[in-house]
């Protein structure tokens, strides 16, 4: 049974990785574009700030109005600004030349000047300083400016977002891997138990026939009947071996009459139903001539699993299991119904899940294998058509016809 991911699984993982990288790249690009726009906005504000000073410097009026400059341009600025002369000299203790800069107040004048000089170099690496000129030729002062807190936060935001997303993906991957390992472990354990169960029934039957032969060795007719039953059980063992050998490989699909295959299965069960202690009638009806593309052994296995589930669901002694066959233009439809206790509505979506079982000693692989056989190998469909506590359960199988 092949458990590792195939090319489709690998392609899906690569596609998801590509989408994740595309989202990350898109987030980075958008944020960096936004940061660039904010940088341009800050520069425009500083240029307006510089123009205000130039206006004052170039004004012929000694009473130039500074109210507009300070109230509408300087006060709203929320990013660091240091005003220097053309040679980058400044007064480290000035409140008018330095704005929105946090420097330790306990530092000496020289230490403060050194820290501010380093800050100027950092700001100039981000933004080219803007000159305040007189008559557009003489440089009077320079404005050095840095980034606002909003810009700094935006620069780190996409990386924080990517880290958080990566953590969620990692946690999800670890959780998914644990679930997958647990399911695979359950499947392997279930397969081992299913194998033992499949072989156990005919082997127990063979042991019973051997005891019967010992008791009837002097009765040729009885021995002949027993040997025929032994042959039937040996053939059953051979079928089981074939079935398990086909799991994980591509089985041979041919055109077969569905009614005939269903009759083979019901006849085998009818010979062994008395051992269950229940009176159960197995009926096959509907279209007796329609054919579908099936693998005989695997299709019989599906019917056996559905019949076994139906027998488990029938709690009273008088039960009915019906296999009805119908034909449409492109498909053959098989309905397997019983008058058992039915399946709860909230459990119907789980009946084909590996490990699901309502039996205390069940391992929940029969229906899961049936789904894999019908949908994975035959290209058909299997589902729970209906289920009620009064009327029982109806499983529906849809198979392809040969064209």
Enumerate the β-bridge partners of residue 386: 394
Output the six-digit token pair for 5.
């991911």
The Cα–Cα gap between 92 and 98 comes to: 8
Q: Residue 380: name the closest of 304, 295, 290 by CA.
A: 295
Output the six-digit token pair for 280.
């159960």
Q: Residue 317: name the closest of 282, 277, 283 by CA.
A: 277
Global pTM?
Answer: 0.53
Output the six-digit token pair for 367.
């229906």
Antiparallel, parallel or unpaired: β 291-294 and 318-327 = unpaired
The Cα–Cα gap between 165 and 156 comes to: 14
Residues in the chain: 403
Do 343 and 392 contact (CB within 8 A), yes or no?
A: no
Residue 2 to residues 63, 137, 188, 290, 363, Cα–Cα distance (Å): 90, 81, 11, 33, 19
Enumerate the β-bridge partners of residue 141: 85, 132
Walk me through the domains of the chain, giving residue ranges and CATH numbers.
7-147 (no CATH), 251-400 (3.30.565.10)
Tens of each residue's pLDDT in the chain, 403 residues:
444 444 555 566 677 677 777 777 777 787 777 777 777 777 777 776 677 666 666 665 554 554 555 555 556 677 888 888 888 888 777 766 777 788 777 888 888 888 888 888 988 888 888 888 777 778 878 888 888 777 777 777 777 777 877 887 788 778 777 877 776 776 666 666 667 767 777 787 788 888 888 888 778 888 888 888 888 888 878 878 877 777 667 788 999 999 999 999 999 888 777 666 678 899 999 999 999 999 998 999 899 989 988 888 888 767 899 999 999 989 999 999 999 888 887 788 778 876 666 554 444 577 888 998 999 889 999 999 999 888 899 999 999 998 7
């Amino acid at each position: 049974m092949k458990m590792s991911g195939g090319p489709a699984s690998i392609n899906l993982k690569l596609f998801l990785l590509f989408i994740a990288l595309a989202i990350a790249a898109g987030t980075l690009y958008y944020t960096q574009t936004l940061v660039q726009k904010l940088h341009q906005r800050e520069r425009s504000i500083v240029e307006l700030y510089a123009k205000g000073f130039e206006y004052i410097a170039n004004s012929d009026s000694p009473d130039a109005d500074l109210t507009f400059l300070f109230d509408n341009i300087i006060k709203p600025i929320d990013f660091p600004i240091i005003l220097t002369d053309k040679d980058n000299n400044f007064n480290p203790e000035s409140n008018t030349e330095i704005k929105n800069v946090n420097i330790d107040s306990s530092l000496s004048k020289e230490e403060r000047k050194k820290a501010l000089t380093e800050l100027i170099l950092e700001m100039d690496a981000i933004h080219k300083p803007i000159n305040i000129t007189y008559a557009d030729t003489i440089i009077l002062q320079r404005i050095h400016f840095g980034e606002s807190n909003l810009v700094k936060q935006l620069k780190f935001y996409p990386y924080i977002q990517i880290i958080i997303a990566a953590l969620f993906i990692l946690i999800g991957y670890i959780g998914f891997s644990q679930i997958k390992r647990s399911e695979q472990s359950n499947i392997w354990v279930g397969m081992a138990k299913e194998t033992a169960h499949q072989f156990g029934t005919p082997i127990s039957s063979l042991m019973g026939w051997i005891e019967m032969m010992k008791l009837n060795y002097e009765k040729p007719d009885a021995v002949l009947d027993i040997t025929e039953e032994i042959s039937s059980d040996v053939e059953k063992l051979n079928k089981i071996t074939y079935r398990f050998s086909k799991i994980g490989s591509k089985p041979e699909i041919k055109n077969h009459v569905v009614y005939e295959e269903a009759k083979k299965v019901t006849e085998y069960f009818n010979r062994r139903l008395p051992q269950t202690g229940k009176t159960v009638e197995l009926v096959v009806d509907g279209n007796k001539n329609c054919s579908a593309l099936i693998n005989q052994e695997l299709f019989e296995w599906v019917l056996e699993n559905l019949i076994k589930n139906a027998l488990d669901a029938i709690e009273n002694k008088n039960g009915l299991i019906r296999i009805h066959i119908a034909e449409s233009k492109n498909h053959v439809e098989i309905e397997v119904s019983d008058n058992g206790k039915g399946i709860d509505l909230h459990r119907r979506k789980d009946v084909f899940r590996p490990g699901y079982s309502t039996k205390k000693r069940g391992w929940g692989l029969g229906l899961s294998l049936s789904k894999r056989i019908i949908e994975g190998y035959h290209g058909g469909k299997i589902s729970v058509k209906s289920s009620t506590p009064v009327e029982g359960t109806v499983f529906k199988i849809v198979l392809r016809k040969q064209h």
